[in-house]
Structure 1
Amino acid sequence: MKCLAQCPATACYNNGTCVTCKQNFTGSKCDSCVDGRYGANCSLQCSDGCEGSICQSSGGSCNCKRDKCAVCVEGRYGENNCEQTCFSGCNGKTCNSNGTCTCKPYYTGSTCDSCVNGKYGENCSLQCSGGCEWNTCNLSDGSCICSGQHCEHCITGRYGDDCSKICRRGCLENNCSFTDGKCDCKDFHTGDRCDVCVDGRYGDNCLNRCEFC
């Protein structure tokens, strides 16, 4: 029988149990973390505030001493058992016991859960369209309420009255008319919006060639 991954080298019995465990593992099959450790490789330290220095092996949450964890593991907070995760906008992925933190660039809010005006997307690194009213847009996709009848400048890859429509994948340089989505086509694409493959081509990006059409 093959030894479990947690058993050092080939040190196991015929029933699969380990003779000895790797560092920070315990149990007959070495499938648990020793007290005070958690994580995929049992390499992370439980919070100092955990009762008995014991925490959940998957996320590090625990029952706290004196009803309050004095120190949560990095990236966690919560006054009862460190069960909540700091927001991604927190600098260094660390926060206070109530979730407040110092923000990374382009993030704002007491818990750094929002982008500053004019920014959106992963890491709040993308710029809202110049036509967005109040210079604000949807945090996930950049769509917005426009100033004027149309958004004068949609972000690349978007079009429509509120920049909510996506240019077709066949558009050259992922760019299209902000009013109707028409565009110049990449190779092997055709149509006003470049959403059709030319004759003899099919598949993603129209890269596949028909053999017996």
Structure 2
Amino acid sequence: MTDPAERRPRKRVTYGAGREALLDAAVRVVARGGLRRLTYRAVAEEAGVTHGLVVHHFGSRDALIEEALTHAIRTSLSSSALEPGTGDTADFAAGLTDMVATGPDHQAFQYELLLESRRRPELLPHLRALYDEYFDAARRELTQMLPGPVDEGLSRMVFATLEGLVLHQLVFGERDVIESALDELRATLRLLARERAGD
């Protein structure tokens, strides 16, 4: 039995901020214990609020999962510098290692849901739609960096490289190794840009 002195104090949470705090709590619960650990009670305990507040905000566990996934991917997109929009290869994915270092739970959450989708195919459409945002962001940025058309194969290959580096840093750390790999990726993209430009 939990000692009452060890329980987290309940916080008053406003509607807007509360919803985001609950989504962050859901991400942390799944990142640490997998999707099977995601319950209203676990999220409420993690956020320091009542069980009823989680129910009020989301209504169903599936809605909570879907919104937490959307929240995690949007947070990752905004912090990854995947699409700085400069067209300069030196800027490509410049914030990737910072994103993993400052938000490892968001990354772990996404990988947990990707693996869970093999057992729960109903998650796949949500993951597909949200990952399409990643793919599109990578393709738009590559289109600014490289002369000529950027096909789906190239943009997926580059994104898969980035995703693999994120997973590597998440599991093994080795930030310096990841930074070095990103430098190699940028150098490869510079060479490809020169080749396409006919230099």
Normalized against structure 1, the TM-score is what?
0.25
Query: Quick check: which one's strand share is greater?
Result: 1
Q: 1 or 2, which has the higher helix percentage?
A: 2
Larger radius of gyration: 1
Structure 2 length normalisation: TM-score? 0.26
